[in-house]
Amino acid sequence: MYRLKRCIVVAVMTLMVCVGCAKEKTNKASAGVVMEPGGRVQVKFEENLDKDYYDSKELEKFIDEEVADFNEIYGEGSLNKASFAVKDNKATLWYEFADGKSYVNYMTDYVKAENVEFGVYTYKDAIEAGIKFEGEFIKVGEEGTVGKDKLEETDKLMVLYTNQEMCVYIPEDIVYTSKDVSVDKDTANTKAEKNNYILYKVEE
């Protein structure tokens, strides 16, 4: 039952991190991942409930069981159900993870994804964690690229690092990205199997 429960939500609902941001609407509603203060991460799942055998109440029950199951393994508060709604036969679930590590644990243990890398750090902590900041970087709003040694005021920046394809909403000023990341206002698109870095300010 334990193993069965942890597979049900993922089997029914589609993980929405791997979609591009809508060009005409760059905000939280169009993103698959939302960065929150303190390093918390919200991730979106969606599914069309257009079959007779779908039951939204039963699905939400499984979601609540999965959250309890995950927190029993990884610690209370590691995963929360931020919201769940059904509208026009479409179910939308937002999971809130305590940090990048919790998200990786979920992707690895529940979604069965391999080689998932995702972390949220201060710049100093990223260096200490072994994040290498390889390649060239773009300063948002400026032409050309710079190397790691030219990044400025890094003590004021948070770092999101991932090798996953994501559409990420960041309600803060995005200052630098690696060159494979595209930015449109408050959202950023990362690429699969790339070293994607997003460096952003957090208001004090």
Residue 79 sits in the same domain as residue 159 = no
CA nearest to 127, candidates 204, 40, 197: 197
Q: What is the pLDDT of residue 51?
A: 67
User: Residue 150 is part of which domain span?
Assistant: 118-201
Q: What is the pLDDT of residue 12?
A: 60
Residue 179 belongs to domain with CATH number: 2.60.40
Residue 190 sits in the same domain as residue 95 = no
Domain limit, last residue, from 109, 141, 164: 109
Residue 26 sits in the same domain as residue 102 = yes
- 37: exposed, middle or buried (Cβ count in 10 Å: 0-12, 13-18, 19+): exposed
Domain limit, last residue, from 90, 109, 128: 109
Q: What is the pLDDT of residue 10?
A: 59
User: And the tokens for 150?
Assistant: 């030219």
Residue 69 sits in the same domain as residue 126 = no
Residue 187 sits in the same domain as residue 99 = no
Q: What is the pLDDT of residue 202?
A: 78
Residue 139 sits in the same domain as residue 102 = no
Distance separating alpha carbons of residues 70 and 68, to the nearest angstrom: 6
CB-CB contact of 86 with 46 (8 Å): no
Residue 11 sits in the same domain as residue 53 = yes
Q: What tens digit of pLDDT does each residue of 154-202 get?
A: 999 999 999 999 999 998 899 999 999 999 888 999 999 999 999 999 7
Each residue of 6-31: b (16+ CB within 10 Å) or e?
bebbbebbebbbebebeeeebeeebb
Q: What is the pLDDT of residue 2?
A: 34
Residue 25 sits in the same domain as residue 103 = yes
Q: Which stretches of the chain drop beneath a pLDDT of 70? A: 1-28, 51-54, 203-204
Residue 41 belongs to domain with CATH number: 3.30.980
Q: What is the pLDDT of residue 37?
A: 84
Q: What is the pLDDT of residue 45?
A: 87
Residue 98 sits in the same domain as residue 144 = no
Residues contacting residue 108 through CB under 8 Å, at least 6 positions apart: 114, 116
Residue 140 sits in the same domain as residue 105 = no
State the total domains in the chain.
2
CB-CB contact of 68 with 84 (8 Å): no
Residue 87 sits in the same domain as residue 18 = yes
Residue 24 sits in the same domain as residue 102 = yes
